[in-house]
């Protein structure tokens, strides 16, 4: 086993389980195992997913930037919610797959594909393993059998429930008093449970369930919580570094995961991280409130980098408010960053990077300190903007030699690109897509036309480009162009 060498850092993570900010020490030196609750694939990806998966994307990117080897596991929930809408009169057992209606797995495939399409568009790095719940039914059954054997679970009518009373720490993660919560759960009482707070590990398959597996308790399908216990353990081990997910998963999902895994004798995750949610005018974004925005819709209005910038300008543990002015502000910030990046790259020319100027060394240090403080991305962006301000000043004052400019370019690509994912490789902004060479050709022509005083044609070039969202700006060092998102 080789231990990778790491950049200096002193990472602290706020652990939701102990409610303390603790220094991060990995189980295996130089390696990080992280599990994040993935989507249930039955509808479009929404901005809440973007907040969660961009946040954890940056966590993973930062670990990798520090030099850790990361195994990032994020599940796909493709079972449980999938019931069949057959007419009352039909054979509900559906022993034979029917071609004249959509199979639940077709829906799961479609929405899994759309999920990855949206995440790819947002620049979210793919997880190393994306296990499906239906892919791990034997592993889930093995834990359930263990829990029955240890007296933490019981079977009733083909379903298996976890006995909440058998596990004294139930409620610790979410800070709920389970005696008090008894009253609240009465509404969803199922007559076969011994205690209304008990939760399902395995559900007897009723009529319309197509996705079903045979067991000693009859045909059924896994409860939602058990899949994450089974899959994290399989791919990361009995104990692993970090378990993440949205705050809305803290209760009941993660509370149940912890109860199941601990009760089965598994030490489980060492750090629990929870990202906060998206709000709209201070209210939670949800389908029922009608203030719901899908990632695809948001990307019609905003560039992916703008959405990332907006998400990262709030700490992952704080809610992010989705509003036009917030996105406009994000776009403004991103443009400021991009312009500086472009200018300093131009100044660098083809010089090899030299030593970093002092102000850039300070900015990098501040960036790392911010990220080390529980991945504080708003502060890290602040450090980047200090870098932008000082770089602009140095450029304006003619104090930045090309080798230093190349070093600053590299630093920006590293912090803003590799870690935060809001900047592309240097130079790409100038030639984005395949239009770059044609724009350059048009800029050359325009210059020639102006020198021949054919101003009607040079204006036609400028206006024609503007109609395509490409703006020309004439400066001392020639004409530069920007493409609107």
Does 448 participate in binding a second copy (rule CB under 8 A)?
Answer: yes
Q: How many helices (H) and strands (E) does the chain have?
A: 14, 15
Binding residue for a second copy, selected from 8, 89, 97, 183, defined by CB under 8 A: 97
d(CA 363, CA 56): 23
CB 198 within 8 A of CB 157: no
Exposed (0-12), middle (13-18) or buried (19+): which is 84, by Cβ within 10 Å?
middle
Binding residue for a second copy, selected from 298, 415, 442, 443, defined by CB under 8 A: 442
Binding residue for a second copy, selected from 135, 146, 279, 286, defined by CB under 8 A: 135
Question: In the range 385-404, which residues lie near a second copy by CB under 8 A?
Answer: none
CB 133 within 8 A of CB 227: yes
Does 261 participate in binding a second copy (rule CB under 8 A)?
Answer: no
Does 160 participate in binding a second copy (rule CB under 8 A)?
Answer: no
Angle at which helices 104-121 and 47-66 cross, to 10° = 60
Strand (E) or helix (H) holding 153: strand 153-156
Q: Tell me, by CB under 8 A, how many residues bind a second copy.
A: 59
Does 128 participate in binding a second copy (rule CB under 8 A)?
Answer: yes
Binding residue for a second copy, selected from 22, 31, 64, 450, defined by CB under 8 A: 31
Binding residue for a second copy, selected from 165, 332, 438, 455, defined by CB under 8 A: 438
Does 89 participate in binding a second copy (rule CB under 8 A)?
Answer: no
Q: Is 218 left (phi over 0), alpha (psi -120 to 50) or beta?
A: left
Question: C-beta of 103: minimal distance to a second copy in Å?
Answer: 6
Instruction: Return the range that interacts with a second copy (CB under 8 A); candidates 54-62, 102-110, 286-294, 374-382.
Output: 102-110
Does 479 participate in binding a second copy (rule CB under 8 A)?
Answer: no
- Measured from the Cβ of residue 32, the count of other Cβ atoms closer than 10 Å reads 22
Of 70 and 259, nearer to a second copy (C-beta) is 70
Does 137 participate in binding a second copy (rule CB under 8 A)?
Answer: yes
Does 99 participate in binding a second copy (rule CB under 8 A)?
Answer: yes
- Measured from the Cβ of residue 106, the count of other Cβ atoms closer than 10 Å reads 10
CA angle 312-276-302, nearest 5°?
Answer: 40
Does 126 participate in binding a second copy (rule CB under 8 A)?
Answer: yes
Does 134 participate in binding a second copy (rule CB under 8 A)?
Answer: yes
- Beta strand pairing call for 470-475 and 478-483: antiparallel
What radius of gyration, in Å, describes the C-alpha atoms of the chain?
27
Contact set with a second copy (CB under 8 A): 1-2, 27-28, 31-33, 69, 71, 96-100, 103, 105-106, 109, 113, 126-132, 134-135, 137-138, 142, 213-214, 234-238, 433-435, 437-439, 441-442, 444-445, 448-449, 452, 454, 457, 460-461, 464-465, 467-468
């Amino acid at each position: 086993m080789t231990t990778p060498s790491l950049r200096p850092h002193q990472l602290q993570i706020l652990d939701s389980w102990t409610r303390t900010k603790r220094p991060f020490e990995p189980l295996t030196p130089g390696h990080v195992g992280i599990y994040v609750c993935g989507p249930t694939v039955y509808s479009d990806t929404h901005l809440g997913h973007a907040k969660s998966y961009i946040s954890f994307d940056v966590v993973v990117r930062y670990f990798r930037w520090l030099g850790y080897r990361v195994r990032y596991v994020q599940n796909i929930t493709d079972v449980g919610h999938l019931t069949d809408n057959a007419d009352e009169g039909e054979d509900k057992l559906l022993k034979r797959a029917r071609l004249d209606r959509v199979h639940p797995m077709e829906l799961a495939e479609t929405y899994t594909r759309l999920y990855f399409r949206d995440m790819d568009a947002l620049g979210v790095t793919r997880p190393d393993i994306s296990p499906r719940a239906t892919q791990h039914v034997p592993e889930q059954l093995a834990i359930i059998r263990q829990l029955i054997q240890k007296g933490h679970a019981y079977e009733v009518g083909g379903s298996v429930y976890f006995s909440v009373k058998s596990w004294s720490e139930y409620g610790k993660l979410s800070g709920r008093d389970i005696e008090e919560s008894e009253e609240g759960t009465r509404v969803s009482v199922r007559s076969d449970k011994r205690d209304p707070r008990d939760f399902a590990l395995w559900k007897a398959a009723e009529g319309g369930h197509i996705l079903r597996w045979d067991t000693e308790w009859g045909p059924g399908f896994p409860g939602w919580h058990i899949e994450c216990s089974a899959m994290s353990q399989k791919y990361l081990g009995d104990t692993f570094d970090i378990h993440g997910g949205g705050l809305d998963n803290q209760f009941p999902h993660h509370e149940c995961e912890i109860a199941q895994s601990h009760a089965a004798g598994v030490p489980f995750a060492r750090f629990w991280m929870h990202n906060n949610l998206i709000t709209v005018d201070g209210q939670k974004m949800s389908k029922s409130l009608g203030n719901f925005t899908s990632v695809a819709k948001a990307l019609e209005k905003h560039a992916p980098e703008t959405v990332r910038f907006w998400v990262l300008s709030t700490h992952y543990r704080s809610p992010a408010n989705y509003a036009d002015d917030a996105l406009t502000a994000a776009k403004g910030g991103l443009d400021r960053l991009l312009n500086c990046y472009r200018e300093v790259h131009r100044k660098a020319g083809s010089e090899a990077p030299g030593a970093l100027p002092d102000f850039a060394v300070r900015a990098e240090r501040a960036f790392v300190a911010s990220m080390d403080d529980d991945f504080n991305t708003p502060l890290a962006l602040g450090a980047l903007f200090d870098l932008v301000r000082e770089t602009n000043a140095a450029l304006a004052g003619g104090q930045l030699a090309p080798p230093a400019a190349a070093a600053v370019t590299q630093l920006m690509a590293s912090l803003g690109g590799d870690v935060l994912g809001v900047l592309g490789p240097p130079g790409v902004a100038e030639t984005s897509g395949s239009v770059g060479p044609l724009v350059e050709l048009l800029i050359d022509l325009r210059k020639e036309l102006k020198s021949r005083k054919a101003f009607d044609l040079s204006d036609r070039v400028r206006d024609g480009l503007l109609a395509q969202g490409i703006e020309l700006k004439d400066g001392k060092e020639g004409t530069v162009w920007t493409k609107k998102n």
